[in-house]
């Protein structure tokens, strides 16, 4: 396998299935995806007008405890196999959601 170009990741795992889900915006810690050892990657798009704090792992997502911070209409791609839970919390209530694609 060739070395990846700077800023790129090469994943050596083909996904057979893509499962799409939508989770409504909430200003309290919310489980976005349950743990799944078969997960090969995921995409999350913050389709809301507030910041979404994503937490990969256990605990409660908050503005002080997060793995990734997504601004309004920003996306996140996890290009490696992570089978643990994905949690999230928005900075405020309102309209919008997280659009999630899980690759299995």
Q: DSSP string spanning 17-54?
A: -EEEEEEE--SS-EEEE---TT--EEEEEEEESS-EEE
More confident position, 9 or 21: 21
Give the CATH fold of the 18-103 domain.
Answer: Jelly Rolls (2.60.120)
Closest listed residue to residue 82, CA positions, set 21, 41, 33, 34 = 41
Question: Could you tell me the pLDDT band of residue 31, with boundaries at 50, 70 and 90?
Answer: very high
Burial class (CB in 10 A: 0-12, 13-18, 19+), 11: middle
DSSP 77: E
The predicted model scores a pTM of 0.85
Whole-angstrom Cα distance, residue 91 to residue 89? Answer: 7
Neighbouring residues of 3: CB distance < 8 A, sequence distance ≥ 6:
none
Q: Per-residue pLDDT for 30 more than 90?
A: yes
Mean pLDDT of 58-84: 95
Structure tokens at 13: 């795992």
Residue 91: how many CA atoms within 13 Å on its side-chain side? 12
């Amino acid at each position: 396998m060739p070395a990846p170009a700077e800023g790129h990741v090469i994943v050596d795992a083909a996904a057979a299935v893509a499962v799409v889900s939508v989770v409504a915006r909430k200003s309290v810690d919310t489980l976005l995806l349950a743990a799944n050892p078969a997960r090969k990657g995921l995409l999350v798009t913050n389709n809301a007008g507030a910041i979404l704090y994503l937490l990969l792992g256990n605990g409660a997502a908050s503005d002080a405890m997060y793995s990734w911070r997504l601004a309004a209409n920003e996306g996140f791609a996890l290009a490696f196999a992570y089978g643990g839970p994905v949690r999230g919390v928005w900075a405020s209530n309102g309209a919008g959601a997280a659009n999630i694609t899980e690759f299995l």
